[in-house]
Structure 1
Amino acid sequence: MDKLRKNKLAVCLFLLPALILFTLIIIVPIFMSAYYSLLDWDGMTKGVLIGLKNYINLFQSPSAGFVKTLGNALLLALLSVIVQLPISLSFALLLARGIKGERFFIAVFFIPVLISTVVIGQLWLKIYNPEYGILNASLRCLGLDALTRIWLGDKQTVLVAVFIPILWQYVGYHMLLMYAGIKSVSLQLREAAMIDGASSWKVNRFIIIPMIRPVLRICVIFAVIGSLKAFDLIYVLTNGGPSHASEVPSTLMVDMIFSRNRYGFGSAIALFIIFLCFFFALLIKKIFNMRGVFDET
């Protein structure tokens, strides 16, 4: 009993530094933002307590434009789930079959994850440049001049143009997680199914995908939460423009706090982003825990 008590004490002592850092860096700022969100404060003068007015204004103030930014973030999350993750899963299933150069392709797909987001933003700014960008130049070479446009300056195309670099950067990240999950599936189980006459499609559909459901759940949560709190790449590419067409809650939050000096309103946006991330994480977990998900109907 004394030995067990000493082991627990040792574990607590080793966890204490991490717990202190987590509290100071994560927990304390959340509570501070919660307090600031109840104030009408410009960051300099004394704040005035206004209760939940900032949260009400998130949805009732047309000038704030929060509802539009929320719609943009949800659209990016939807695109991530229905476009990015299926592509990652397809690559993972293909590589897990043991193709030639498997390790090489894994490394190549994962390289964008290691590159700074600012560098990626600058790279895609050059690709999208309407004068010398490789995208418009390629369309002109193919005789498709009518399709060339100012990709980041057109309200109709800017959100998709922002999503493509996000897709390019993180498809390898999700692919690697799924690849690791697929490799953990028993090889004997797959071989037995193929001996019984199951095609590769059926093996993937009825054996591999259901068995990597925990990995898929994590990937969906990461993709959705990452889209809801996306900031750096959008800030570098468009800063929310043109005319707020690519604005998301995080860029609006930064604009409110550092450009308009509305610290209370910006803090309310920050708290709402945290709430959305928790809500969707719990919702996705609940959906994946339901019977029938990825099972044969």
Structure 2
Amino acid sequence: MATTLTSPSQAQGPETADTQPKPKNRNPMAAHPALWLFPIPALVLYIAFFVIPTIQGVFYAVTDWDGFSPTAQFVGLDNFTTILTSDELFRNALSNNIKFMLVVVIFQTIFSLALGVYLTKNSRSSVALRSLYFFPTILSSVSVAFIWKFVYDPNFGLINTVLGAVGLDRFQSAFLGNDNQAIYWVAITQVWFHVGQMMIIYVAGLQQIPQELYESAEIDGASRWQQFRYVTLPMVAPATAIVMAYTTVQSFKAFDLILGLGGNPPKGSLDILSTRIYAGFANSQFGYAAAESLIFMALIAAITWLQRRAVKASNPDV
């Protein structure tokens, strides 16, 4: 009688699969340990070029270091006290910078929103016009300064030449030569320079608005202005917050544009905080300029925070 031999695995039948150890399922959300190495280069650069210089700036701000001596004398808060109470040059630069910022933030936000609204559709003409308005942004600040220096030239500049040709000589101006108006003309240049860049942010925000909202508003009898006020403005509030914050920082960093239009050093009517701080370092007043830099940084942070609060108050969802 033949005997059939069976292996132990065959004898156990289908239950064998249940007795075998199962591989552990990895959590799909768990990051591989090696991925933690990727942020290290950026972190090193951040520490080396921001954290350490900031700490050094705080240290130098309470000294009278001239930038060359191996030692520096500790002066405490004297630099800050002088800046905030008796430094007329810093006060003048602060006043100019606030005027410059207000003009740039208000008009750049308005014009970029208007361009974004009219160029939202991805038609050929809209794309072409977006490219045209964005073009100045890719130019260097020095190039823009030289272009507008020609435009503002009181003798043979473009504006005065055109005004004279059409018989409007009474509207001709010295532009940058007029101390009461100079900072505003530079602000207009800054708006022209970056309005296309902010327009792109608004276009991206406007294209995310569901069309059903406009259709519902139109069915309810809302006019174009009412649709813009009650649909468009609230929906682009996040984009507005970005534009205002970025424009504020830009207006305080218009260093090269000011030097290109006003010379080095610029005259008092064109002096802003960044050029005032630069003058301090150039005159070997490193400790004093470091104190001005800290006040400068705190001022930008405070203004940006206030803008954020204002936008959030008008639209709690931001």
TM-score, normalised with respect to structure 2? 0.85
Is 1:54 the counterpart of 2:79? The answer is: yes
Aligned to 1:74: 98
> Do the aligned partners of residues 52 and 210 (structure 1) sit closer, same or farther apart at CA in structure 2, a change above 3 Å counting?
same
- Name stretches of at least 5 consecutive residues in structure 2 with no aligned partner: 1-24
Shift of 1:5: 9.1
Query: Residues of 2 paired with 1:104 and 1:111: CA distance?
Result: 11
> Do the aligned partners of residues 29 and 239 (structure 1) sit closer, same or farther apart at CA in structure 2, a change above 3 Å counting?
farther
Further displaced range: 150-159 or 140-149: 140-149
Aligned to 2:216: 192
Partner residue of 2:135 out of 111, 116, 125: 111
Asked whether the 8 Å contact 2:99–2:184 carries over to 1, the reply is: no
Partner residue of 2:49 out of 17, 25, 48: 25
Further displaced range: 15-24 or 236-245: 236-245
Further displaced range: 19-28 or 141-150: 141-150
Query: Residues of 2 paired with 1:253 and 1:188: CA distance?
Result: 51
Asked whether the 8 Å contact 1:256–1:265 carries over to 2, the reply is: yes
Shift of 1:4: 7.0
Query: Residues of 2 paired with 1:114 and 1:242: CA distance?
Result: 25
Is 1:234 the counterpart of 2:253? The answer is: no
Aligned to 2:298: 275
Aligned to 2:148: 124
> Do the aligned partners of residues 134 and 49 (structure 1) sit closer, same or farther apart at CA in structure 2, a change above 3 Å counting?
same
Is 1:167 the counterpart of 2:194? The answer is: no
Query: Residues of 2 paired with 1:16 and 1:277: CA distance?
Result: 29
Asked whether the 8 Å contact 1:40–1:263 carries over to 2, the reply is: yes
Please give the secondary structure, in 1, of the residue aligned with 2:175. coil
Further displaced range: 100-109 or 144-153: 144-153
Asked whether the 8 Å contact 1:153–1:242 carries over to 2, the reply is: no
Query: Residues of 2 paired with 1:10 and 1:288: CA distance?
Result: 41
Aligned to 2:164: 140
* CA offset digits 1:235-271 (Å, max 9, x no partner): 111147764111111000111111x211111111111
Query: Residues of 1 paired with 2:27 and 2:300: CA distance?
Result: 41
Asked whether the 8 Å contact 1:239–1:251 carries over to 2, the reply is: no
> Do the aligned partners of residues 242 and 32 (structure 1) sit closer, same or farther apart at CA in structure 2, a change above 3 Å counting?
closer
Aligned to 2:177: 153
* CA offset digits 1:102-140 (Å, max 9, x no partner): 101111111111111111011111111222211111121
Is 1:182 the counterpart of 2:242? The answer is: no
Partner residue of 2:275 out of 251, 260, 283: 251
Shift of 1:229: 2.9
Q: Which amino acid aligns with 2:308?
A: K
> Do the aligned partners of residues 8 and 236 (structure 1) sit closer, same or farther apart at CA in structure 2, a change above 3 Å counting?
farther
Aligned to 2:312: 289
Is 1:264 the counterpart of 2:287? The answer is: yes
Q: CA RMSD in A?
A: 2.2
> Do the aligned partners of residues 208 and 122 (structure 1) sit closer, same or farther apart at CA in structure 2, a change above 3 Å counting?
same
Please give the secondary structure, in 2, of the residue aligned with 1:256. helix
Asked whether the 8 Å contact 2:65–2:285 carries over to 1, the reply is: yes
Please give the secondary structure, in 2, of the residue aligned with 1:51. coil
TM-score, normalised with respect to structure 1? 0.91
Aligned to 2:5: none
Q: Which amino acid aligns with 2:33?
A: L
* CA offset digits 1:179-227 (Å, max 9, x no partner): 1101000012212222332222111110111011111111111112221
